[in-house]
Amino acid sequence: MEELSDHDNPSPNRSSEKSRVSAGEIVSMLIDRWYWIPISIALLGGLAHYYISKVPRKYLSAASVQVKASQASAVAVDRTAERAQASELDLAGSDAINTIIGKFKTHSLIRVMLKDHPDLLTDPGLLPEQMVWAPVWLAPPPDRMPVVLPAPPPPEDTASDKAKAYLAAVDAAAEKLAGPVGQVFAVTNRKGSRLVDIRVEHTNPDLSRRLADALVATYTKVHVDRKSDRTESTIETIEAQTAKAQEDLQTSQNALAAYRTALTLVQQLKDQEAKLAELLLRYRDKHPDVISARKLLAGLQDSFLREFDAARSAQTDRKYWESVELISRSTVPDDTVREAIRLLQARSEVLTSEILNRTQTYNILLTQRTGADVSSSQVEAEILPIESARRGVLTEPNPPAIYAAGILGGLLAGAGISLLLGKLDNKIHTVADLERSTGAPVLASIAAVRRKVLAKPSGTEETSGLTWSPDLFFRDNGSRTVEAEMIRNLRTSIVLLGPAEKMKTILFTSALPAEGKSFVSANIAASFAMSGDRTVLVDLDLRRPRQQNMFGTDRKKGTGVADVLASQCKLADALHPSGLENLTLFLAGTHAPNPAELLNSQRIKDVIAVLRKHFDRVILDTAPLLPVSDTRLIANLADTCILVAGAEKTPKGAILRALELLGWDRENPTGSNIGGCVLNGTIESRRNLGYNYSYGYYGKYGRYGRYGKKYGSVYGDDAEEEESDKNRRPKGAR
């Protein structure tokens, strides 16, 4: 059974053909499985009705406010103050609206709202009703008891234990319910405007209105009415920082002023040193000008050191010099002076930098102080109530929309299921399916046998001692039936394949067992015989022959193909009359242990050649193609090969593989001796007449039978089972 593995690797041409789904196929899939559509509509429609009956009614209420933007001052005192101020000044843009929307949604604002409105906490419908899918008798609705608070104290009582206990209970309840209550709010900005809508969707229409108005009132209280307190605190902070910055700036300026005389002497010392260096380039050390310059330099150094000592001891910068170590005066005077100059210049540079930085900080704080004065009379991002909330209007459920969605969903789901099942269906149902899948011509369609019509009392014909099976249509009561007409239709198709002398040997096979090849070959042989052609029916299915059962003979009592091929008897002795004029039977004969070897010999070629000389039609009933290789050994001996496919049972891949083994190429159909296919066992109805191209059955005839149901799922040698199979076969079975 090696050929079966090839089903998993279809050729590219086959895959491309299978992937094409025409409009006709889609319609056929929908018609074949139409019942899924009303089932899906009923299910989803019922689910929609149940949903409408269970979903809580929701009511929408909305309050509207307008965002009135204004400038706000920065409080920062560091170097990022300007950037912070610039960003806050952008509150007039979209960021201001998004900021306010975010503040409306905060947990803390919802909690403050509930604390300020205790009547909301005690309302039994504060938490929206939740949907419970289970029936009421199975799952009763959850308990929605309101929050129980102690009795409120008098308004003037704010310090007693009773008042404290009440406030603590309110605070705890507000903290617990702030999260669930916040989920009913939706805050949105109207596109292209500064209007903000506070929407509340709740199962209680009155409560939705109260919640929307309460949130607007709480926001106004928290984010607008308290703005003046924050502004005053900001001004106080800026004033304190400005005073400190001014004090630090004055300290640095005083310290630098103490070093001005010493810094002037430093410049004079540098000028005198430059003059002395110039004189030394022209005169010797004993020259009067050099001596005079040295004395003047020494005097300046003494003056500098005195001024330096005075500046270090001044109160303005004494703390700094206490931590600085100087070179002793007993050392080289020039080194002492140079070290003092270095320290003085370093300290003056530090003081100059401090004065510059503190001046900038002082100026920034003065600017912020001015901005704070301006903002004290304005609002950071003022909201102006535009419209109070009204009693909520019903928004959910919307029965027409839900019913429409259920019906449409059921329609689409039913169609989708039908198409999916049709696409996953790997069986052949109609002639159109077979032609579309294989590309091979379909010679005829044979419907499932009406056993109640064929198996009548006169359904067995006693001719020459033979008892025919009811599945042979050409008997006294069967030759005028619709079944016999289907066989004649097949005979006509075969005749039209070509001249009789070129279509003598006709081979019937199938892809798998139990598809009805023996049934078709037996009836077509009888049909040719009745039309006047000398016909011989050769049973070459040596492993599981069935023709002896069709014609009521015993395989063990007669000779046949196996005996002739094994040279156990002559051909003339193996030919048996059928009881029908012009029809000769060449049955399988005795059991053959090596069917493949017998069929792959020169003897079979000679036998068929002899039969062609003496008969007008040689009908070969062969083994299935996929389980065994017997048919492939003799397929080239036939003038034409006809593949029988069982409707409603044979996988498409098996049929395609069988045709490939016979050499079929849909791109070059004339390159093989395949005459076409026969679809056997179709279920006839008026709807399928256009797809099966057959006469069809009308009216109620009971259950249909199918040929080959007892054939078995494994094809092999079962000679020992023939007798028991024959005995347990129901009368009239194919």
How does pLDDT run across 169-219, given as a tens digit for each residue? 888 888 988 888 889 999 999 888 889 999 999 888 999 999 999 999 999
pLDDT of 152 over the 90 cut:
no
Q: Which of 200-204, 250-254, 446-450 has the highest mean pLDDT?
A: 200-204
- Centre a 10 Å sphere on the Cβ of residue 608 and count the other Cβ atoms it contains: 18
> What whole-number percentage of the chain has pLDDT above 90?
26
- Percentages helix, strand, coil for the chain, rounded to the nearest 5? 55, 10, 35
User: 332-350 burial string, b = 16+ CB within 10 Å, else e?
Assistant: eeeebbeebbebbeebbee
Mean pLDDT of 301-328: 75
Residue 730's pLDDT is what?
Answer: 40
Non-local (6+) Cβ contacts of 159 within 8 A are: none
One-letter identity of residue 209: R
Decide: 677 and 706 in contact? Cβ < 8 Å. no
Decide: 1 and 630 in contact? Cβ < 8 Å. no
First and final C-alpha spacing in the chain: 25
Non-local (6+) Cβ contacts of 78 within 8 A are: none
Give 327's pLDDT tier (boundaries 50, 70, 90). Answer: low
Question: How far is it, in rounded angstroms, from Cα 338 to Cα 322?
Answer: 19
Mean pLDDT of 498-519: 92
pLDDT of 453 over the 70 cut:
no
- Centre a 10 Å sphere on the Cβ of residue 143 and count the other Cβ atoms it contains: 5
Give the DSSP letter string of 658-721: HHHHTT--TTSGGGS-EEEEEEEEE---TTTHHHH-S----S---PPP-TTTTS-SS-S--GGG
Phi and psi at residue 640, to the nearest 5°: -150, 145
Mean pLDDT score of the chain, rounded to an integer? 78
Give 332's pLDDT tier (boundaries 50, 70, 90). Answer: low
* 80-94, 205-219, 315-329, 384-398: least confidently modelled range: 80-94
pLDDT of 281 over the 90 cut:
no
Q: What is the dihedral of CA 109, 111, 113, 119, to 10 degrees?
A: 170
Mean pLDDT of 303-310: 80
Residue 697's pLDDT is what?
Answer: 41
Question: How far is it, in rounded angstroms, from Cα 581 to Cα 57?
Answer: 85
Query: Which domains occur in the chain, in start order?
Result: 22-55+397-425 (no CATH), 58-139+152-233+381-395 (3.30.1890), 234-374 (no CATH), 431-697 (3.40.50.300)
Question: How far is it, in rounded angstroms, from Cα 64 to Cα 190?
Answer: 10
- Global pTM reads 0.54
Measured CA to CA in angstroms, residue 642 lies from 86, 409, 474, 677 at distances of 90, 46, 21, 5
Question: How far is it, in rounded angstroms, from Cα 477 to Cα 465?
Answer: 18
Phi and psi at residue 238, to the nearest 5°: -65, -40
Tokens for 159, please give them: 């310090």
3-state SS string for 603-661: HHHHHHHHHHHHCCEEEEECCCCCCCCHHHHHHHHCCEEEEEEECCCCEHHHHHHHHHH
Give the DSSP letter string of 51-90: HHHHSPPEEEEEEEEEEEE--------STTHHHHHHHHGG
One-letter identity of residue 565: L
Question: How far is it, in rounded angstroms, from Cα 209 to Cα 387?
Answer: 12
Greatest extent of the chain over all pairs of C-alpha atoms, in Å: 171
Q: What is the dihedral of CA 243, 249, 255, 260, to 10 degrees?
A: -140
Measured CA to CA in angstroms, residue 490 lies from 303, 434, 644, 676 at distances of 139, 16, 12, 11
Mean pLDDT of 339-357: 82
* 20-29, 88-97, 272-281: least confidently modelled range: 88-97
- Centre a 10 Å sphere on the Cβ of residue 612 and count the other Cβ atoms it contains: 17
